[in-house]
Amino acid sequence: MTEPSSTTRLPDLDPGQAAELLERGEAVILDVREPAEWAAGHAPQARHLPLGLLTPEAVPQDRPVIAVCRSGNRSGQAADTLAAAGRRVHNLAGGMKAWTRTGLPVVTDDGKPGTVA
């Protein structure tokens, strides 16, 4: 597990931990991948905001955010950016690749089964 870069950068989560927080309504998941990646498939509960458009004002403040990308690198950058702005944020370790390996669902915008591009 990586060390938090600030007091609001929360520990990285594995997919199971992230899914538990989402199921209990204790976090929101923010997918920072590019539009084509999002369109191929994403976590059902995810909100989409590409990394290049990310601003701290654009993310929910009422609950911690779980940042996710394909492998965890871009979402780590997003987590650092949000934490530096005072947001409570986790990174999803291993990204959507780990999410699918764990057997968690991936859907397209119309709710059909998706893939990780």
Per DSSP bridges, beta strands 65-68 and 28-31 are parallel
Q: Where are the beta strands (DSSP E) in the chain?
A: 28-31, 47-48, 65-68, 89-91
Q: Which of 13, 46, 59, 69 is catalytic?
A: 69
Q: Is 69 a catalytic residue?
A: yes
CA distance 56 to 66: 13
The DSSP 8-state label assigned to residue 70 in this structure reads: S
What residues are annotated to the active site? 69
